[in-house]
């Protein structure tokens, strides 16, 4: 469930910069998904650190 949600968000962000029918859309979508996961992990780590 979470992976699908992240891929939907990554697809939306990627579509802003790249056409959906481009050959490398899936690769770029994967890279954006990894960046989104990393951003969530960093945000959670910073929130935990404040406490």
pLDDT tens over the chain, length 51 residues = 888 998 899 999 999 999 999 999 999 999 999 999 999 999 999 999 877
Contact 5, 37 (CB under 8 A): no
Contact 29, 10 (CB under 8 A): yes
Q: Domain boundaries in the chain?
A: 2-50
Query: What is the phi/psi pair of residue 19, to 5°?
Result: -70, 145
Q: What is the pTM of this model?
A: 0.84
């Amino acid at each position: 469930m979470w992976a699908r949600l992240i891929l939907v968000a990554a697809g939306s962000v990627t579509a802003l910069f790249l056409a959906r029918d481009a050959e490398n859309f899936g690769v770029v979508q994967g890279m954006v998904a990894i960046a989104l996961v990393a951003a969530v992990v960093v945000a959670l780590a910073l929130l935990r650190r404040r406490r």
